[in-house]
Amino acid sequence: MNLEGLRVMGIDPGLTRCGLSVVQAGRGRAVLPVAVGVVRTPSGDDLALRLLRLSRAVGEWMDEYRPDVVAVERVFERGNVSTVMHTAHAVGVLILAAAERGVPVHMYTPSEVKKAVSGNGRADKKQMTAMITRILGLSEPPKPADAADALALAVCHCWRAPMLFRQRAGLIDGRVSAAKRRTPSPDNHDRSFPS
Amino acid sequence: MNLEGLRVMGIDPGLTRCGLSVVQAGRGRAVLPVAVGVVRTPSGDDLALRLLRLSRAVGEWMDEYRPDVVAVERVFERGNVSTVMHTAHAVGVLILAAAERGVPVHMYTPSEVKKAVSGNGRADKKQMTAMITRILGLSEPPKPADAADALALAVCHCWRAPMLFRQRAGLIDGRVSAAKRRTPSPDNHDRSFPS
CA–CA dist A16, A39 (Å, integer): 8
- Whether pLDDT at A187 is above 70: no
User: Which residues does chain B have with pLDDT short of 50?
Assistant: 171-195
Type and span of the H or E element at B59: helix B47-65
How many A-B residue pairs are in contact by the CB < 8 A criterion?
A: 78
Q: How far is A148 from chain B (nearest CA, A)?
A: 24
CA–CA dist B12, B18 (Å, integer): 6
Helix (H, G, I), strand (E, B) or coil at B45: coil
Q: Any residues with CB less than 8 A from the CB of A115 and at least 6 apart, and which?
A: A121, A191
Q: Any residues with CB less than 8 A from the CB of B175 and at least 6 apart, and which?
A: none
Q: What is the pLDDT of residue A66?
A: 97
Beta carbons of B89 and A95 less than 8 Å apart: yes
Helix (H, G, I), strand (E, B) or coil at A32: strand
* Nearest CB to B93; choose among A84, A92, A98: A92
Q: What is the pLDDT of residue A73?
A: 96
Beta carbons of A104 and B47 less than 8 Å apart: no
Q: Which of B45, B60, B63, B73 is catalytic?
A: B73
Q: What is the pLDDT of residue B169?
A: 65
Q: What is the pLDDT of residue B178?
A: 37
- The CATH number of B7-182, from 3.40.50.1980, 3.30.300.30, 3.40.50.300, 3.30.420.10, is 3.30.420.10
- Mean pLDDT, rounded, of chain A: 85
Beta carbons of B81 and A77 less than 8 Å apart: yes
What is the arithmetic mean of pLDDT over A32-49?
A: 96
Beta carbons of A95 and B49 less than 8 Å apart: no
| Contact residues on chain B for A76, CB-CB shorter than 8 A | 81
CA–CA dist B53, B39 (Å, integer): 9
A146 is in an annotated binding site: yes
B180: left (phi over 0), alpha (psi -120 to 50) or beta: alpha
Q: What is the pLDDT of residue A162?
A: 75
Q: Closest residue of A to B51, CA-based?
A: A96
Ranges A71-85, A99-113, A161-175, B114-128: which has the least confidence: A161-175
A73 catalytic? Reply is yes
Q: What is the pLDDT of residue B78?
A: 67
A146 catalytic? Reply is yes
Type and span of the H or E element at B70: strand B69-73
Q: What is the pLDDT of residue B145?
A: 83
Is the dihedral angle over the CA atoms B153, B158, B163, B168 positive or is it negative?
Answer: positive
Superfamily of domain A7-183: Ribonuclease H-like superfamily/Ribonuclease H (3.30.420.10)
Least Cα distance to A53 among A82, A18, A99 occurs for A18
What is the arithmetic mean of pLDDT over A18-26?
A: 97
CA–CA dist A21, B162 (Å, integer): 46
A173 is in an annotated binding site: no
Chain A residues with CB-CB distance to B under 8 A?
47-49, 51-52, 55, 75-77, 81, 84-85, 88-93, 95-96, 98-100, 104-105, 107
Q: Closest residue of B to A98, CA-based?
A: B48
B77 catalytic? Reply is no
Question: Are the beta carbons of A71 and A164 closer than 8 angstroms?
Answer: no
Peptide bond into A144 cis (omega under 30): yes
DSSP state, residue B10: E
Question: Rounded to the nearest 5°, which phi and psi values hold at A81?
Answer: -55, -50
Least Cα distance to B48 among A16, A151, A99, A113 occurs for A99
Q: What is the pLDDT of residue B162?
A: 75
Q: What is the pLDDT of residue A182?
A: 37
